[in-house]
Structures are given as structure tokens and as C-alpha cells.
Amino acid sequence: MIGAELYFVITSIFVVSEKESLNPRIPLIKKPSLRSHLRASDQLEDFLKDHQVDVFSRRYSQCYPPTLVSLKPGKAAERLYNYMDAQYFGLISLGTPGQNFTVVFDTGSADLWVPSFYCVSPACASHHKFKAFESSTYIRDGRVFGIHYGSGHLLGVLAKDLLKVGSLAVENQEFGESVYEPGLSFVMTKFDGVLGLSYPSLSDELGAPVFDNLINQNKVEKPIFSFYLNNSPGKEGELLLGAVDEDLFVRPINWSPVTVKGYWQIKMDAVKVQGTTSFCKADANSCQAVVDTGTSLIAGPAMDILFLQQLIGATPTPFGEFLVDCSRISSLPVISFVINGVEYSLTGEMYVKKDVIGDRGVCFTGFQAVDITSLFGPMWVLGDVFLAQVYSVFDRGQDRVGFARLKARPTE
């Protein structure tokens, strides 16, 4: 969420064989994120003042004990999907003939929504809008949906239509047509909507989420999808549906069972600083972690993260971010995350985000404090800062998340 965050937009979709058509690759490429844009244009402070909400507590409200969450029957869950720092974007199409939309592929939510042609918000004016009257396969639903954001509710109506993701076609996919999108953030983002990849229990819409329909309609070879993020500027990453790409990682895949079927939530054994266990002691009360492609952050309990920032030598800013001296990056401590007995180590070069303010380079840590309580213990969020260093596999068939070491890419 901090520093020179980058987002990914679709560049091309290709089909090279019959097998490839069952497991489409969605290439991804880097561009500056909304936060970087706001910082560069000196609008970040005003934006954050206008959006004083506990963004992570709302986004992960499903993790709270039931007594802490009050949802009235028939009302939308009040979760904040904070896409200010989202990094993975791709192309889909809806309707017949297809209408193209750039969406966030988000493992932290389950719904699919895009702007409606009838949207009245300023945000919709700068994005592609779905024209139901131009689709011969459109099925009107008429029910209303709503998702709570920091500046108000995103409101819309439900519908069904033909969805295409890469070479895969999903018939009668339930989705939301937003008619009101609140706040400045949607005006300035480069994506049109969201395609959720979490479990159905997070869905605010009735009907199966996209990946569930891909499975139910036998559209994918296996009930899995995988992410690869190439952290080199100008190089492509990919989302692969139905398979893994053996050319991108080194086996074995380290599998962790999903502990709660909502988010892709797993157990994390420990967090180490320079090889010493500092957080999440390896016992029955060790931490939980949400593996989230919808954020670039690594987030953790406030007290732990504040102590971690002190160990790094980072200085807080008024925006909840932490600065480090760019000249010290190579000497910063190694931060390691232990998952299912395997240690994943991040150097300063991996967890520090670089950005430019005016003509001055600045460096921010990729850690943010947030207190999220789950029934299994303290909650951490593993976003891009972590996911960029591994090949990640999400397995709905066996309810598990896998990480593997990336292969060294040939230099050009």
C-alpha cells in the first residue's frame, strides 16, 4: 500500500494449444498505483483525511468473532474493499457481443461487479460501462446489492450474462451492475470493476462466484489458479486458471490448509527478524494470515508492526506510512515468514517501496499496522510484498494454499 506501488493491467491474451485454452494465461504488467498517483500530485494527505475509516477492519470483518459483527438479514455486509493499493489487473468481457472491462483479480472478495451504463456517479464517467441493452444473452435479475466503502455505499442491481476470462466462457454468470460508486478513489482508479476469487461465503451476491462456476461448468482442467508476479520493470507476470506453470517455479510446493473457508486464510508459524523469532510464536496460538492479491501490503497487529518498524529503523509519517533512508536499504534486517515449517525471507530490497515526490526519491516500508482478530488468533495479511517473492497456488479442490520458490529468470 505504500511507496511506489504498482498495478497490473492486461496486455494480451493468447491461446497456444487446446490445453492452453483450458488453462488461460492472463499476462500482467506494472504501472503506478493510485496511492503513488495521489502522492505525486500532492493529493494524498487530503484524500486520506476524507477517508478516515478502518479500512482493513472492514475488509476483513469476516475474520471477527460473530459477536463483533452485526449484519441485518437482507443487508449487504459492511466490508471495505480497499483497492487504493491493488496491483493485479486483467481483462474480462461480459455479454454478447463481449464488452471489455479491466478488473481487479482479488482473492480477498468473492463478487463480480462492473459499472452500469446507467451509473450516475462521476467515477463511472471515466470507466467502461456495461450496456445491458446491447447484449443478446443478458438476463435481468433486478435485485439490489450494496457494498460499504469508506465514503459510502456502492449500490447496484444484479444480473446474469455470458462472462469470458481469457479463452474461458462462463454461462449465466451472476454479477453486479453498479449505478452509484462513492468517493474520489473510484474516479482516479484505472480499473473498471472487481472479480473476486475467494470462497462463496464472502459473496454479497446470490449465485456462484466466477471461479465456482468455472469449476461447476467444467471449464478448468483442475480446481486451482495460480499467480506469478515478475517484479522486474516492464516484464510480464501472469494469472493462470486451472493449472500451474512448471517453468516459473521450483518444486516442491509448500501446501498449507485453509483454516477458514472465506478468505484464503492459513496458519503462519512465526515472523523472524534476522533469524530470531519475534512475532507469532510457533505454538497452538500462532498467527493466522490472509493471502490477498487485492493489496500490495504486508499487514499485521499494530503493536507487532510498530515494533518491527523500530527494528527496521523506519520513521512514521502522518499518513500511517513509515520512511527509511534509501541509502540504507541494503543493510536493513532480513524479515522472514515461517509457513508450514518453511521460511520465506525478505531482504530490504524486497520489502521497501521506492517512490518519487517532486524531484526527490523516497522509500517506504511495505508493512502496515492493523488489528484484525480471528477465532484462531492474531491476523496478518500477505499482499504483494510477500507474493512477489513466491509462486502462489490456490487450490479449491483440496482447500489449501501453496507457495513455491521462483526459478531464476534468464537475463536479457
- Please identify every residue annotated as catalytic: 106, 292
Look up cell 472491462; give the residue. 101
**Adjacent-strand bridge partners of 345:** 336
Of the candidates 65, 199, 133, 289, the residue with the CA atom closest to the CA atom of residue 280: 289
SS3 348: helix
CA distance 129 to 197: 22
Taking CA atoms, 54 is separated from 43, 229, 258, in Å, by: 20, 28, 25
Query: Under DSSP, is residue 109 helix (H, G, I), strand (E, B) or coil?
Result: coil
Bridge-based pairing of strands 89-94 and 152-165 is: antiparallel
Q: Which residues pair with 260 in a beta bridge?
A: 265
Q: What DSSP state is assigned to residue 116?
A: B
Distance CA 320, CA 365 (A): 11
Assess whether the previous peptide bond of 252 is cis (omega < 30° from 0): yes
